[in-house]
């Protein structure tokens, strides 16, 4: 945690607008930066801690990454080489760099099966701290091995509080506990930009990377060309977690609620409204009328149930995706597993 010069990495390999991460969650997210900031770079102290842990001469490990460009990691190969050099110079740790195919890397990192260190990042799906902390550090996520109850229990408590200010003290404890156990090292919050031809109207740079191209006009042309960091891993996005895949699916699928273009305010989509009970455990949604699928069939409540059954019920014949992991369904709601499964 103290043995990597994160400022050097940001200064040398990240674009303007990027910053060293003081916490795992960006400070723009409520409660993201409450609690103590991450450790400052101190190679001498880091080497002493390593010796206390029984590794006075360092050790050997692996450093995995996928060779793709993302806003959170725009120069992955050079960052990997710099971290490899810093680990050797500062801590005498020999890290062998291993490059993996993108889909296989996402699956292996998400299931916690990589035997070493790896480079990965995150972009917000929705503007709440649970999207950062619960996904990565929740008890059900094997990404970092066995998670500590010291922070997993706090995350459960925080997620049940609807008003961010009321949950601040819990997230102070949770952020501090994650800092203490060091399941990862937050390096940077990367800056990025989106460019369009000048004649495109209603240009978008979504903070959630969910641009909705149907509302943009490509200068009157019949074809709108969008270049992104990579091709989608698959088009069955219920079983994907990579943003480059999700953006493609969002052009042809709709949810009960959506976000305003270029913003984070929620607006009804396939639902006209969704209202909760007093303790926010049951939500009742009124669906839009007159919505049809491309084959002309009508959209109704059975389709909503079928969608959740596909994602949550591992016994469903439609619960068949690219990897079968269904990361988002599992962390948001928990998969329905067989007894003992």
Residues 185-242 have pLDDT tens digits of 999 999 988 999 999 999 999 999 889 999 999 999 999 999 998 889 899 999 998 8
- pLDDT computed for residue 323 by the predictor: 84
Which among 133, 58, 61, 55 is positioned nearest to 90, based on CA atoms? Answer: 58
Quote the CA–CA distance of 55 and 36 in Å, as a whole number.
27
Quote the CA–CA distance of 34 and 170 in Å, as a whole number.
10
Q: How far is CA 285 from CA 36, 254, 255, in A?
A: 40, 15, 12
> Does residue 267 contact residue 260 with C-beta atoms inside 8 Å?
yes
> Does residue 111 contact residue 28 with C-beta atoms inside 8 Å?
no
Three-class SS of residue 88?
helix
Q: How many CA atoms, within 13 angstroms, populate the side-chain half-sphere of residue 251?
A: 14
> Does residue 44 contact residue 210 with C-beta atoms inside 8 Å?
no
**In the block, which residue shows the tokens 């059900």?**
140
- pLDDT computed for residue 338 by the predictor: 55
> Does residue 24 contact residue 178 with C-beta atoms inside 8 Å?
yes
End-to-end CA distance of the chain: 35
* List of the chain residues with pLDDT < 70: 338-341
Quote the CA–CA distance of 282 and 175 in Å, as a whole number.
29
> Which domains does the chain show, CATH number per domain?
6-189 (3.10.105.10), 200-332 (3.90.76.10)
- pLDDT computed for residue 328 by the predictor: 87
Quote the CA–CA distance of 80 and 171 in Å, as a whole number.
31
Chain centroid offset of residue 193 CA: 19
Residue 272's H or E segment, with its range, is: strand 271-276
């Amino acid at each position: 945690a103290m043995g990597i010069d994160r400022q050097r990495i940001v200064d040398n390999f990240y674009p303007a607008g990027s910053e060293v991460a003081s916490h795992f969650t960006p400070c723009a997210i409520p409660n993201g930066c409450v609690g103590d900031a991450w450790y400052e770079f101190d190679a001498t102290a880091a080497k002493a801690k390593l010796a206390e842990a029984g590794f006075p001469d360092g050790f050997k490990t692996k450093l995995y990454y996928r060779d793709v460009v993302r806003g959170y990691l725009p120069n992955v190969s050079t960052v990997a080489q710099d971290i490899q050099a810093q680990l050797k110079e500062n801590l005498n740790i020999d890290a062998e760099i291993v490059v993996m195919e993108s889909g296989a890397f996402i699956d292996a990192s998400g299931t916690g099966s990589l035997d070493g260190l790896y480079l990965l990042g995150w972009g917000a799906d929705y503007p709440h701290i649970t999207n950062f902390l619960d996904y990565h550090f929740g008890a059900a996520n094997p990404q970092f091995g066995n998670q500590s109850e010291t922070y997993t229990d706090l995350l459960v408590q925080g997620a049940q509080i609807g008003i961010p200010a009321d949950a601040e003290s819990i997230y102070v404890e949770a952020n501090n506990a994650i800092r203490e156990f060091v399941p990862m090292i937050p390096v940077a919050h990367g800056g990025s930009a989106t460019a369009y031809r000048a004649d495109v109207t209603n240009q978008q740079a979504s903070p959630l990377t969910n641009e909705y191209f149907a509302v943009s006009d490509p200068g009157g042309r019949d074809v709108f060309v969008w270049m992104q960091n990579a091709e989608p891993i698959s088009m069955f996005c219920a079983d994907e977690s990579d943003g480059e895949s999700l953006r493609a699916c969002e052009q042809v699928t709709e949810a009960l609620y959506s976000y305003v273009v270029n913003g984070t305010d929620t607006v009804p989509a396939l639902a006209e409204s969704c209202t909760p009970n007093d303790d926010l455990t049951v939500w009742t949604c009124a669906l839009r009328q007159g919505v049809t699928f491309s084959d002309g069939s009508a959209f109704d409540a059975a389709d909503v149930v079928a969608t959740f059954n596909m994602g949550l019920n591992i016994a469903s014949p439609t619960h068949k995706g690219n990897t079968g992991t269904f990361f988002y369904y599992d962390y948001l709601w928990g998969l329905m597993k067989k007894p003992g499964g």
